[in-house]
Copies of this chain bind each other. A is one copy, B any other.
Amino acid sequence: MADAARNDVARNDIAWNDSARDEGALPLPAAIAAALEEDIVFGRLHTRERLIEEELAERFRATRHTVRQALAELERMRLIERIPHRGALVKAYNPAEVRQLYALREMLETQAAALIPLPLEEAALAPLRGLQQKHAAAVAAGDARAVFRADLAFHRALFAHCGNLFLAETIEELGQRAQVIRYANLRSRSSMEWARDQHAAMLGALERGERGALVALCAAHFAPAREAYLSQHPALLG
């Protein structure tokens, strides 16, 4: 019965966030998946926590089938793990895995940064500036959700210019997988401001055609998240 009590607390926690509806025109499973993704990113759902289909169906006022599809989507993104007849768990990474994941991201983003044509033409630069401003505004407003979305959009738009669709996709996928790890950083205002300033510096490098600076910025961009995660999780278990 202690278990039931724990589950109730968790359910109340996440019940605050009824954000499936505000996704607008998204198909329902995608909207549910997005809401759960946020729950994971912002730590409302913890590592190893169980996701129970019927509870989610009630919360989102959807059928269990719909929830099931959303869970399949989250599994595809590798944010959760599904074990046959046992349900879905928020995925956990041990420190070695975290290091490997970030090492790969660094490698790919470095290569992608090296492929972006420099200096970037104005027509491509303008949308990036727009996204940068959105991100900065979200940081100023202290709106963590908006920061999260704007950050994703900025990086997607940036690496879209690397000239390799598959590289850009892979970078984005690995970024999604790292979200489970990243959430600690979204809460701190200073780290959000640091990211904002890095984006500004990237834009500068893109404008002025400074290849070395761009590559260095991309490579170093997520070091803080990795370090924060590793420092919080003792070596024995992730």
Interface residues of A (CB under 8 A from B): 27, 72, 76, 84, 97, 100-101, 103-104, 107, 111, 163-167, 170, 174, 177
Contacts and interface: CB of A to CB of B under 8 A. Distances in A.
B104 A164 contact: yes
A166 B104 contact: yes
Number of copies: 2
Contacts of A163: 100
Residue of A103, A104, A111, A177 ringed by the most chain B CB atoms within 10 A = A104
A97 B97 CA distance: 30
A197 B189 CA distance: 57
Contacts of A101: 166
A103 B72 contact: no
A96 to B, nearest CB: 8
Contact of A103 (B84, B100, B107, B164): B164
A165 B97 contact: yes
A165 B166 CA distance: 19
Contact of A104 (B97, B104, B170): B170
A85 to B, nearest CB: 12
A166 B174 contact: yes
Contact of A164 (B76, B100, B165): B100
Nearest to A97: B165
A167 B104 contact: yes
22 contacts: A27-B84, A72-B72, A76-B76, A97-B165, A97-B166, A100-B163, A100-B164, A100-B165, A100-B166, A100-B167, A101-B166, A103-B164, A104-B164, A104-B166, A104-B167, A104-B170, A107-B111, A107-B167, A166-B174, A166-B177, A170-B170, A170-B174
A78 to B, nearest CB: 9
A27 B163 CA distance: 39
Nearest to A177: B166
